[in-house]
Copies of this chain bind each other. A is one copy, B any other.
């Protein structure tokens, strides 16, 4: 199984050539200072405020730093400065790929400003409450980006002294937290108007959980475009709920059926479309389908899905920037709204005559 000659290291070697370090430990500020013939304060300044030093000393310190291979000790700096250098992203279910792109955007924006990205999963063993207690701690993170709208204002209030919190994607009604969100209503409105333009008049939809803020906002958007949005198919954003909606659609007499259906997520739309196709209904000839989110794979279905795309990376990076501004004490927008985009593919076509 193992390649012959595979070395079995228990302890990994550390290269210890001529690189100057005291003992086995890493070089400290004091080591650099000794080598450069200056005080630790000077070395510290060379790192944080180089403009304060004369060119000569700055160079000498620089040389000593490379000679020793010095790397700053974060714990020491953070202790002294009373910060942590980390931002926690609290997501409900890290395993949900929807968040992957958002995290990527956040990570890039945060790292660029010297922050680390720490991830916490509110659905992890122990539950939401435990996750909140663990991560809403000023000594663990300088700020929190909360992507879980199921957290209540009460949960948050129970953790006094928590670092600043910014909501992203979802939000909490009544909690005065800055947020970075998609214009959800505009998204469903866009979808509905697109279908209207294609001649559809009976337009159905697959909702999310009834108490979900995204669900409510998206229903509102529908109402802006449609005289009577009706009650839609119950759903929960999952593929399975799309399959169930398809079954209900099939059970309805053809004359009463929607000729187009908007899923409140790409997954429910894809589940809906897939089940219908398996039952011999053709999309978009017999029914048009529009999704919501703009996740990658729905573009590659046998019938590529028309959808409302969320700028996921932007949502992440914007949330990160808002939080960093908040931490820096700058004034921040209470609510940053990003625009959705209609991506026309093949699953939505003209209404059947």
Contacts and interface: CB of A to CB of B under 8 A. Distances in A.
A118 B16 CA distance: 28
B121 A108 contact: yes
Given A74-B139, A107-B124, A118 B86 contact: yes
A99 to B, nearest CB: 7
Contacts of A278: 302
How many copies of this kind of chain does the complex include? 2
A164 B12 contact: yes
A223 interface: no
Interface string A162-174: 0011000000000
Nearest to A99: B100
Interface stretch (A188-196, A201-209, A229-237, A267-275): A267-275
Contact of A104 (B94, B140, B296, B297): B94
A115 B34 CA distance: 35
Given A78-B75, A108-B124, A118-B86, A160 B19 contact: yes
Interface in A11-60: 12, 14-16, 19, 26
A300 B313 contact: no
Interface in A316-348: 331-332, 334-335, 337
A122 B116 CA distance: 14
A119 B121 contact: no
A84 interface: yes
Interface stretch (A1-9, A256-264, A284-292): A1-9
Contact of A270 (B10, B93, B112, B297): B297
A116 B90 CA distance: 12
Contacts of A301: 274, 301-302
A2 B96 CA distance: 30
B79 A76 contact: yes
A313 B178 CA distance: 33
A120 interface: yes
A78 B270 CA distance: 48
Given A79-B73, A302-B278, A111 B134 contact: yes
Contacts of A139: 26, 71-75
Contacts of A97: 97, 100, 296
Contacts of A117: 118-120
Given A274-B302, A332-B10, A125 B112 contact: yes
Given A302-B274, A334-B2, A337-B1, A26 B138 contact: yes
Contacts of A164: 12
A1 B181 CA distance: 12
Contact of A334 (B8, B116, B176): B8
Interface of A: 1-2, 6-10, 12, 14-16, 19, 26, 69, 71-76, 78-79, 84, 86, 93-97, 99-101, 103-104, 107-108, 111-112, 116-121, 124-126, 134, 137-140, 157, 160-161, 164-165, 176, 239, 243, 267, 270-271, 274, 277-278, 296-297, 300-302, 313, 331-332, 334-335, 337
Closest 10 A/B residue pairs (Cβ): A97-B97, A95-B104, A15-B160, A75-B79, A75-B78, A94-B104, A277-B302, A7-B176, A73-B139, A74-B139
